[in-house]
Amino acid sequence: MNVEKIMQEVERKNPGEVEYLQAVREVLESIEEVVNENPHFETAGIIERIIDPDRVLTFKVPWVDDKGKVHVNRGFRVQFNNAIGPYKGGLRFHPSVNLSILKFLGFEQIFKNSLTTLPMGGGKGGSDFDPKGKSDNEIMRFCQAFMLELWKLIGPSTDVPAGDIGVGGREIGYMYGMYKKLASENTGVLTGKGINWGGSLIRPEATGFGNVYFAKEMLKTKNKDFNGKLVAVSGFGNVAWGAITKATELGAKVVTISGPDGYIYDPEGISGAKIDYLLELRASNQDIVKPYSYEFPSAQFIPGKKPWEVKVDIALPCATQNELDKNDAQMLIKNGCVCVSEGANMPCTPEAVELFLENKVLFGPGKAANAGGVATSGLEMTQNSMKLSWTREEVDEKLHHIMCSIHEACVKHGKDDDGFVNYVKGANVAGFLKVANAMLDQGIV
Ligand code: NDP
Ligand code: 2IT
């Protein structure tokens, strides 16, 4: 397999799709060896077939704001690969959303979902709609307009969307209500539903909890744990919240959160009532973290900077793609950081990842480390099919077990002769093999 030759073709077919090309290159470089050892993958065109989405659907979403003005946004659903189960993956509402971003996310989702051990294919969708500053009624009207198109493309056994940036419980509720009305059925077509209408306990916190469980397993390989450690978290959304809660529970002190405007440094730790305040800040649809520093005197707001300059033992990037670059990685390494676990999707640039690996930092890539969210979505789908609900403890135990299995799979496929585990390689190879073998079994379709 010739990675450069394949990349040339992918670049030709997808010009300027920077994030998508970045995600594809990373996977290809990781699986090169295993593909060379198994020439039948190439003969069956597995690489070309896995790189291209099965289909990309785009649609217009017209909606009316509170003043009666009409707006038009663009909606997308990328159905990437369904070799091991229905297309599955979140919806992102953010002004930056474009096809490159959704294709990178959908592509990553194939391997992430494969790692969860559950039968889910990969997909992603969303819109360039900006929820910031919109009223609740505007959000509802947008979600309904979005679902008016999306409902034809999805179904509990074909494609099961969920949340991502800008899409949480409220948006899932409005979209589910509209789907139910249009499809005349009450099924588990979306995950992340409210607990009284088919949702699963632990789903809201699952990505962050899972990320910390994964980091815990990585630390265990070096006889380390979270207790007494300093942790830097970026973002202040759904994933950040879960990660902060679990890291704190395990005895760590989380000292940062961030927004696009800068970061908060709170040397006394972000926990308890401070986490509740964080949730209030989020619920108010604000994109700023500055108010936190007015509320809690121990905290300082550092405008225009990222949290990676703070001296910490563990870093959990939980905001967005490419938010931690080479300079940030250098600062973390210089300050003695031993573990980086990606809560967000692809938050570290390739140069940053390279530095972490060179310096033997425990590095958990998003498709393994943040798989707890979609894994718990899988558990929600199971509960929906069985028409029952598991307890908090039952779901948490299954989530924990899944994160340990993912860690094991990464070690199995990522450990080198010196005993160093390259979790990037491990996650990509383990995720790829299951999907590739399923594609082989199912013929050319
Ligand atoms: P949320 O919308 O709940 O939160 C994201 C927050 O991060 C927003 O407040 C956003 O602000 C902020 N943010 C965006 N860009 C930056 C930046 N450059 N620096 C600092 N903060 C920023 O989203 P989630 O928590 O759900 O998602 C966060 C990440 O985790 C994404 O990469 C997502 O793909 C990934 N993920 C999510 C899962 C889930 O279950 N929700 C599962 C697995 C991964 P603003 O909107 O103003 O830019
Ligand atoms: O990136 C992700 O894994 C998610 N946003 C969650 C997807 C899901 O289907 O729960």
For the domain that residue 139 is a member of, what is the CATH number?
3.40.50.10860
Structural domain count, the chain: 3
**Does any domain span residue 402?**
no
Q: Are residues 66 and 174 in the same domain?
A: yes
Q: What is the mean pLDDT of residues 178-200?
A: 96
**Does any domain span residue 294?**
yes
- Distance between Cα 415 and ligand 2 center (Å): 27
**Does any domain span residue 316?**
yes
List the structure tokens of 13.
């077919």
Q: What is the mean pLDDT of residues 51-79?
A: 98
Q: What pLDDT shows up at residue 287?
A: 62
Give the separation between CA 41 and CA 83, rounded to whole angstroms: 15
- Distance between Cα 165 and ligand 1 center (Å): 5
Specify the ligand 2 atom closest to the Cα of 161: 9
Q: Are residues 249 and 343 in the same domain?
A: yes
Instruction: Give ligand 1 pocket residues (Cβ under 6 A).
Output: 94, 163-166, 207, 234-240, 258-260, 287, 318-320, 323, 343-345, 370, 373
Q: Are residues 142 and 164 in the same domain?
A: yes
Q: Are residues 138 and 224 in the same domain?
A: no
pLDDT digits (tens, 9 = 90+) for 315-364: 999 999 999 999 999 999 999 999 999 999 999 999 999 999 999 999 99
Residue nearest atom 31 in ligand 1 by C-alpha distance: 344
**Does any domain span residue 299?**
yes
CATH number for 330: 3.40.50.720
pLDDT digits (tens, 9 = 90+) for 151-182: 999 999 999 999 999 999 999 999 999 999 99
**Does any domain span residue 211?**
yes
Relative to beta strand 262-265, strand 300-303 is antiparallel
Domain boundary among 186, 218, 247: 186
pLDDT digits (tens, 9 = 90+) for 280-305: 878 776 667 888 888 999 999 999 99
Q: Which domain holds residue 353?
A: 206-369
**Does any domain span residue 295?**
yes
pLDDT band, very low/low/confident/very high, at 373 (cuts 50, 70, 90): very high
Q: What pLDDT shows up at residue 195?
A: 96
Q: Are residues 218 and 327 in the same domain?
A: yes
Residue nearest atom 2 in ligand 1 by C-alpha distance: 165
Q: What is the mean pLDDT of residues 207-211?
A: 98
Specify the ligand 1 atom closest to the Cα of 287: 47
Domain boundary among 320, 348, 369: 369
Which residues are part of the catalytic machinery? 124
Burial class (CB in 10 A: 0-12, 13-18, 19+), 276: exposed
Q: What pLDDT shows up at residue 282?
A: 80
**Does any domain span residue 374?**
no
Q: Which-ligand-closest: CA of 243?
A: 1
pLDDT digits (tens, 9 = 90+) for 5-32: 999 999 999 999 999 999 999 999 999 9
Residue nearest atom 47 in ligand 1 by C-alpha distance: 287
